[in-house]
A and B are shown apart, each in its own frame.
Chain A
Amino acid sequence: MSMSKLFFSILLFLFVVLPACEAQKEFVVVDQRELLGAVFKETTREFNNRNGSEDLEQNFSLNRQFRYAIDLKLNTNSGLRRQDVEERICETYNIANCRTGGQKQCLLPVSVPAGRAYAYEIEWTEVKREGVIREGNDPDRGNLLGTYTIVVDLQCQTVGVQVR
Chain B
Amino acid sequence: MMTKRVLFLLLIVLALPSVAGAQSGPTQADLLACVPKAGELPRFRGARPESLVLRDVDLLSQPTFTSDTRAMKLVTIPKGARVVVFDIDNVIKDRNSKWFRVLWACDSFAFAGWVPVSAVRLPPIRVNEKVAPPGCAIPLAIIDSIDGVWESTYRGKISAVIDLFRNPTGTFYPSAFLYMTRNGRELRDRDREFKTSGPFLLNGVVIQTEVQRGTEIGFTIVGGNREPVRLFATIYAVPQGCEWNE
Contacts and interface: CB of A to CB of B under 8 A. Distances in A.
B46 A158 contact: yes
Interface string B134-176: 0000000000000000000000000000000000101010010
Interface stretch (B25-33, B105-113, B193-201): B193-201
Nearest to B41: A163
A161 B49 CA distance: 10
Nearest to A39: B195
A125 interface: yes
Given A33-B191, A109-B126, A158 B47 contact: yes
Contacts of A33: 189, 191
Interface residues of B, number: 28
Nearest to B51: A111
A111 B172 CA distance: 24
Nearest to A159: B198
Contact of A39 (B41, B48, B123, B196): B196
A26 interface: no
Interface of B: prevailing SS: loop
A43 B46 CA distance: 13
B85 to A, nearest CB: 8
Contacts of B5: none
A107 interface: yes
A125 B126 contact: no
B196 A157 contact: yes
B3 interface: no
B116 to A, nearest CB: 19
A8 B45 CA distance: 72
Interface string A143-164: 0000000000000011111010
B128 interface: yes
B170 A160 contact: yes
B45 A160 contact: yes
Contacts of A110: 49
A63 interface: no
B193 A34 contact: yes
B214 interface: no
A159 B126 contact: no
B189 A159 contact: no
B48 A158 contact: yes
B184 interface: no
B239 interface: no
A123 B198 contact: yes
Contacts of B196: 39, 123, 125, 157, 159
B224 interface: no
Contacts of A163: 41, 46
A90 B199 CA distance: 33
A121 B200 CA distance: 13
B126 A120 contact: no
A159 B193 contact: no
Given A109-B126, A120-B46, A125 B200 contact: no
Interface of A: 33-36, 39, 41, 57, 59, 107, 109-111, 118, 120-121, 123, 125, 157-161, 163
23 contacts: A34-B193, A36-B175, A36-B193, A41-B197, A57-B126, A107-B126, A109-B48, A109-B49, A109-B126, A109-B127, A111-B51, A121-B197, A123-B196, A123-B197, A125-B196, A158-B198, A159-B198, A159-B199, A160-B45, A160-B170, A160-B198, A161-B42, A161-B46
Given A157-B196, A160-B197, 4 more contacts: A125-B195, A125-B196, A160-B47, A161-B45
Interface of B: 41-42, 45-51, 123, 126-128, 168, 170, 172, 175, 189, 191-200
Top 10 closest pairs, chain A to chain B, by CB: A159-B198, A161-B46, A111-B49, A160-B45, A36-B193, A158-B47, A159-B197, A109-B49, A109-B126, A159-B47
